[in-house]
Structure 1
Amino acid sequence: MIAYASRTGNVRYIVSKIKAEAIEIQDGLKLDKPYLLMTYTDGFGDVPEKVARFLEQNEQWCKGVVVSGNSNFGHHVFGGAGEKIANAYRIPMVRKLDLRGIQADYEAIQQFYETRVLDENVFEIK
């Protein structure tokens, strides 16, 4: 599963390029299986508040993070939300995408999803 937050539509677009069950993050959402987190970066490298609240309830199932950002704001803040999440929860930073990313990004995300998230979902069912 992919759990995502999208403000401008970039993350929603990226999610549409990945073959996976997906759910948009809302307050109170509680998951019970492994997922890949996809988010945008807020402000100057900050984690969006709704994503932070979601992780408080669902951190144990998060297997990695993909972040969208805008490189025009500078390297020191580009994709900062993803770096902060990866460091705080000790999960892989799968990919930083500039806005909507490119095909190579989608392929790398799909590969990670199939090997690190989907396989674990199958394992959980057995």
Structure 2
Amino acid sequence: MSGYLNLAYDYPLLSTFWTILWIVLWVCWFFLLFRVITDIFRDDALSGWGKAGWLILTLVLPFLGVFIYVLARGRSMGERERSHLRAQQEAMDQYIRDTTGGGRSEIDELRTLSDLRNRGDITDEEFRRAKEKILH
């Protein structure tokens, strides 16, 4: 049993794959760590002391802290992320509506006026005045 033991570093290509695997695992770890820290600060249901406790646990004992956090609060992390993204989308949509004048163009308003006139709901004189108001 005193034979030579082959390790991954005895084969250059295997050594490269092994190194890449470790790099990918470390990148995934840091991604998860930052995701958990972001979730701690994003959660409005946690008190300041709760946030401080989770943050201290996550920073002092990172592997154990992240593991416990994901087990304890991991299911609601996705819900908080979705609600945050939904709020951002609503804010962007509202900004676009405000910037473009409410989402109705002059053509839409003229089409609505034309439909009202064709149904007989407004007179030609009312149509002319409303049309001038829209175009000027």
Compute the TM-score of the two structures, normalised by the length of structure 2.
Answer: 0.25
Q: Which structure exhibits the higher relative contact order, with contacts defined as CA atoms closer than 8 Å and separated by 6 or more residues?
A: 1
Q: Which structure is higher in helix share?
A: 2
Compute the TM-score of the two structures, normalised by the length of structure 1.
Answer: 0.26
Q: Which structure has the larger Rg over C-alpha atoms?
A: 2
Q: Which structure is higher in strand share?
A: 1
